[in-house]
Every structure is written in structure tokens, then in C-alpha cells.
């Protein structure tokens, strides 16, 4: 069952495991702690069946795929040692050296709705697609999701970047245990929240953050790249689905206050009876529990001070939003970049992509609209973009 925010709202509105050899756990970032075999899709037809069952295009499939959950050492959003988990998918073929795709998933509010802990094809479909096309695919759960400890620091680009980079390092060790090697070239992609994570990872790799891996290309899909002047103002308009506006606003304020202390008390920004709503966004409550607790509109959710905080951020909140938006403003890519989007996106509004196009100078790719996928254009954009991104990465890899 699909577990993204919009899919849960849509519903409201209308393996065997094998423990593998692991390196000893230490505080070193990227150190592999454990690996667990998840699923084997023995043939291309098996992958095709899994993808088409959830409307994904199998046209780039070539090989069967094996998937694994890795647990690895990384750092949390304050720089302290912690662990995180992620999915690794390897093609079943004879190639010993594999180029790698890192794919960042979209927003999840429940810990187990993550690539390495879910059978939801919307979450694992990207990794299956890239691996079946011949890449090694890695999909970080991010901090606090999957089997990682603590709450998830939503939209914290620095920790998304370190979690993604450290999973690459752990995956390189794991691949060597399987008699394979990950090439230096990393192709980064991601959807929604993961679009920012992909840009953050590509920026870090281009700057030399790792002595082995380097950025090859980046293809973000339907990201919220301009929170300050595009996404947040749109939350107060009909452009964003009203219940989703309430959900994303609560998640944003709860996560940023947890990390950056942006308001003295929830009662200052959340109107009664929603003062305790942020407590539900700690990763332990499934969406089916959260959605009924949401107000129907953002105006019902916030006090006047809460609305002012969002529309006119200052201090720590403004600095944190600037960090989110920096993925499209503070670097000049020396690698190929394409920005994929669907017109009329009711979650990550199109002004975000227009902003990133203007600041990075990257071309945009309009993939059209698929409203049959759960009734939301936003989710449909991942389904439409994925085969195009896979073909582009494959062409670049020739």
C-alpha cells in the first residue's frame, strides 16, 4: 500500500531475510554495520511484473535484480555519530564494475515508509528500475527513517547529503563483498524531497567530498527548491491541495523547531485545537493516524503569529530555509543537469522548477501529466520521469 502523504489523503478521500557478513561498527562515517538480503527478482520479467503492478514503465529493464538493506555509520543533523539505513539494488548480470545511481525518495512521515523497510513499489521502484538497467542503485532512507534512530529532520539538506554520501561509501564496501566494484561515477536523482537531496549530493561530490566517488550527472524530479519565495507562499493558495498544505506546514515547522528552535512554544504558532499536532510528526505515527487529525486548511492550522513566521521568516528559521534553497543558488554545476517536472503540480509547485532553472541555468523537461496515479499530478511525475531519467543516464554512460 502506498504511504506517501498524498496517497494516504487520496485513500481517505474517496521476504525472506538473510544476514550477510558485516564490518565492525565504529564511529567512522560510511562504515558498513550490517547487510540483509531482501528480495530477488530473478529475471527481467520479474522486475517488469513488479513495476507494471504499480504503473511504472518497465521499458528500460534488462536484468533481474537483488535488493538489500544496509545499515551504516553516519552523522546526525548536529554532527554526532549515528546510524542510518538504505536500500541497495544490484543487477543480476556478469558485470564486475558498476556505475551507480543514488535516488532520494519523497516525503515520508512514518519511519517504516522508507525504501529499505517497505515493499511499496513507489518507494522501491526507482531502485529496481535503475538496477535492472544495469546500474548499482542506492536509495537512502535518510536519518530517522527506515531503521535509523530518532525523528527524521525533514528537508535538512546537509544531513540528507551526508546520509546519501555515507550510504554510497557503505555500498562500495558491500559491493566488494559481492565480488563487484562501484565505479567512481555517480548519477544522482530524486523525487520531491529527494530532488533537493540529489542536488545536495551532486554538489558535495563535485566539490570533492569523497576521494573515490565523483558526480557524473544529476536529474531531480519535482522538487521544492525555493521554499522561501515559491513553496511557502503557495501553501496559502489553491495551487497546493489544502489538506496537503496543512500536513507539509506542520511537518516543516515541527522538524525545523526540533532542529533549529524557531518558536518558543507550539501554542505560539498552532491554533487550538492543533497545538499538539506537531508531536504526531515524530516518525512513530502512520499517516492514517495523522491525516484525520489535520485541519482542512492552513488557515485553520495557524495563529496569526504562525502565519507571519512562515511568510516573513527571520533569524534561525530564515537561515534554515536559505540552506534548503541553496541547492539551486550557491554552486555552479560542471556536470549535466536536467530538471524534470509535471505542469500543475499541486504539491511542489512549478515555480520551484522555474526558480532552479533560472539560478542554475539547467534545462527543464516537461514530462506531461499523469493524474491516474493516485489522483495526484505530483506523484504521477515520478512515474513519468523515471524511465526518461534512466534512459538519459544510460546514454551518458555509453
Question: In the listed set 260, 292, 323, which residue is the last one of a domain according to the structure?
Answer: 323
pLDDT of residue 351: 98
With cut-offs at 50, 70 and 90, classify the pLDDT of residue 26.
Answer: very low
Do 159 and 268 reside in the same domain of the chain?
no
Do 93 and 198 reside in the same domain of the chain?
yes
Size of the chain in residues? 398
pLDDT of residue 74: 97
Residue 17, pLDDT > 60, answer no
pLDDT of residue 20: 34
Do 311 and 344 reside in the same domain of the chain?
no
Do 120 and 202 reside in the same domain of the chain?
yes
| Rounded-to-integer distance, Cα 326 and Cα 164, Å | 17
Residue 134, pLDDT > 50, answer yes
Do 342 and 390 reside in the same domain of the chain?
yes
With cut-offs at 50, 70 and 90, classify the pLDDT of residue 7.
Answer: low
Lowest mean pLDDT among 4-13, 102-111, 182-191, 225-234: 4-13
pLDDT of residue 27: 43
Do 186 and 330 reside in the same domain of the chain?
yes
Half-sphere exposure of 326 (CA within 13 A, CB side): 19
Do 182 and 67 reside in the same domain of the chain?
yes
| Rounded-to-integer distance, Cα 146 and Cα 124, Å | 13
Residue written as cell 512514518?
Answer: 110
64-75 and 97-104 strand pairing = unpaired
With cut-offs at 50, 70 and 90, classify the pLDDT of residue 397.
Answer: confident
Do 88 and 155 reside in the same domain of the chain?
yes
H or E segment at 162? helix 157-177
Do 146 and 50 reside in the same domain of the chain?
yes
* Mean pLDDT, all residues of the chain: 93
Closest CA to 131 of 396, 395, 393: 393
Instruction: Report pLDDT digits (tens) over 72-88.
Output: 999 999 999 999 999 99
Describe the strand order of the beta sheet including 81-92 as a list of residue ranges: 18-20, 32-41, 64-75, 81-92, 136-140, 97-104, 181-191, 214-221, 339-341, 364-366
Closest CA to 144 of 232, 219, 78: 78
- Helix (H), strand (E), coil (C) string for 252-308: HHHHHHHHHCCCCCHHHHECCCCCCHHHHCCECCCHHHHHHHCCCCHHHHECHHHHH
Instruction: Report pLDDT digits (tens) over 122-131.
Output: 999 999 999 9
Per DSSP, 94 falls in state S
| φ and ψ of 327, to 5 deg | -65, -20
Residues whose CB is less than 8 angstroms from the CB of residue 322 and which lie 6 or more positions away in sequence, other chains included: 228
Residue 65, pLDDT > 60, answer yes
* In contact, 193 and 104? CB cutoff 8 Å: yes
pLDDT of residue 375: 86
Instruction: Report pLDDT digits (tens) over 339-384.
Output: 999 999 999 999 999 999 999 999 999 999 988 787 899 999 999 9
Do 316 and 188 reside in the same domain of the chain?
no
Residue 300, pLDDT > 90, answer yes
> Which grid cell is 234?
503557495
| Rounded-to-integer distance, Cα 3 and Cα 27, Å | 32
H or E segment at 138? strand 136-140
Residue 116, pLDDT > 70, answer yes
Closest CA to 142 of 203, 182, 191: 191
Closest CA to 390 of 168, 3, 91: 91
| Number of domains observed in the structure of the chain | 2
- Provide the percentage of residues in the chain whose pLDDT is more than 90: 90
Residues whose CB is less than 8 angstroms from the CB of residue 358 and which lie 6 or more positions away in sequence, other chains included: none
**What is the CB neighbour count within 10 angstroms for residue 384?**
24
| φ and ψ of 333, to 5 deg | -60, 135
In this structure, what CATH number is given to the domain that contains residue 205?
Answer: 3.40.50.1820
Do 292 and 215 reside in the same domain of the chain?
no
Closest CA to 221 of 255, 186, 185, 188: 188
In this structure, what CATH number is given to the domain that contains residue 247?
Answer: 1.10.260.160
Residue 11, pLDDT > 90, answer no
Instruction: Give the residue-averaged pLDDT of 37-43.
Output: 98
- Full domain range(s) for residue 66: 5-225+326-396
Instruction: Report pLDDT digits (tens) over 305-349.
Output: 999 999 999 999 999 999 999 999 999 999 999 999 999 999 999
pLDDT of residue 15: 37
Instruction: Report pLDDT digits (tens) over 196-233.
Output: 999 999 999 999 999 999 999 999 999 999 999 999 99
Instruction: Give the residue-averaged pLDDT of 110-118.
Output: 97
Rg of the chain over all Cα atoms, to the nearest angstrom:
20
With cut-offs at 50, 70 and 90, classify the pLDDT of residue 16.
Answer: very low
| Rounded-to-integer distance, Cα 49 and Cα 41, Å | 10
What b-and-e string marks burial along 103-130, b requiring 16 or more CB atoms within 10 Å of the CB?
bbbbbbbbbbbbbbbbebbbbbbbbbbb
Entry pTM: 0.93
Amino acid at each position: 500500500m502506498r504511504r506517501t502523504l498524498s496517497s494516504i489523503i487520496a485513500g481517505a478521500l474517496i521476504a525472506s531475510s538473510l544476514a550477510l557478513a558485516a564490518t565492525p561498527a565504529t564511529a567512522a562515517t560510511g562504515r558498513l554495520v550490517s547487510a540483509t538480503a531482501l528480495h530477488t527478482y530473478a529475471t527481467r520479467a520479474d522486475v517488469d511484473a513488479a513495476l507494471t503492478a504499480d504503473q511504472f514503465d518497465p521499458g528500460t529493464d534488462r536484468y533481474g535484480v537483488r535488493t538489500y538493506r544496509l545499515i551504516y555509520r553516519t552523522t546526525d543533523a548536529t554532527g554526532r555519530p549515528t546510524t542510518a539505513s538504505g536500500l541497495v539494488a544490484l543487477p543480476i548480470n556478469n558485470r564486475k564494475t558498476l556505475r551507480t545511481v543514488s535516488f532520494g525518495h519523497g516525503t515520508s512521515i512514518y519511519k517504516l515508509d522508507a525504501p529499505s523497510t517497505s515493499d511499496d513499489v513507489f518507494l522501491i521502484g526507482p531502485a529496481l528500475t535503475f538496477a535492472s538497467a544495469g546500474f548499482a542503485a542506492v536509495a537512502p532512507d535518510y536519518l530517522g527513517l527506515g531503521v535509523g534512530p530518532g525523528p527524521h529532520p525533514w528537508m535538512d539538506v546537509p544531513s540528507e547529503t551526508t546520509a546519501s554520501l555515507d550510504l554510497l561509501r557503505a555500498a562500495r564496501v558491500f559491493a566488494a563483498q559481492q565480488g563487484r566494484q562501484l565505479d567512481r561515477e555517480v548519477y544522482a536523482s530524486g523525487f520531491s524531497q529527494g530532488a533537493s537531496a540529489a542536488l545536495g549530493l551532486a554538489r558535495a561530490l563535485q566539490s570533492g567530498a569523497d576521494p573515490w566517488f565523483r558526480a557524473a550527472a544529476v536529474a531531480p524530479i519535482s522538487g521544492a527548491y525555493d521554499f522561501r519565495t515559491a513553496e511557502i507562499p503557495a501553501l496559502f493558495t489553491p495551487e497546493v491541495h489544502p489538506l496537503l498544505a496543512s500536513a507539509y506546514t506542520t511537518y516543516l515547522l515541527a522538524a525545523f523547531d526540533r532542529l533549529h528552535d524557531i518558536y518558543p512554544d507550539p501554542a505560539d504558532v498552532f491554533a487550538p485545537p492543533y497545538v499538539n499536532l506537531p508531536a504526531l510528526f515524530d516518525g512513530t505515527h502512520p499517516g492514517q493516524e495523522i491525516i484525520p487529525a489535520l485541519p482542512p486548511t492552513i488557515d485553520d492550522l495557524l495563529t496569526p503569529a504562525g502565519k507571519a513566521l512562515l511568510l516573513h521568516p527571520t533569524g534561525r528559521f530564515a537561515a534554515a530555509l536559505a540552506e534548503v534553497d541553496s541547492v539551486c543558488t550557491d554552486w555552479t554545476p560542471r556536470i549535466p543537469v536536467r530538471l524534470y517536472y509535471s505542469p500543475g503540480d499541486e504539491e511542489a509547485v512549478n515555480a520551484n522548477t522555474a526558480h532552479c532553472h533560472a539560478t542554475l541555468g539547467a534545462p527543464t523537461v516537461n514530462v506531461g501529466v499523469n493524474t491516474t496515479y493516485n489522483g495526484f499530478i505530483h506523484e504521477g511525475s515520478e512515474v513519468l520521469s523515471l524511465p526518461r531519467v534512466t534512459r538519459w543516464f544510460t546514454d551518458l554512460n555509453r
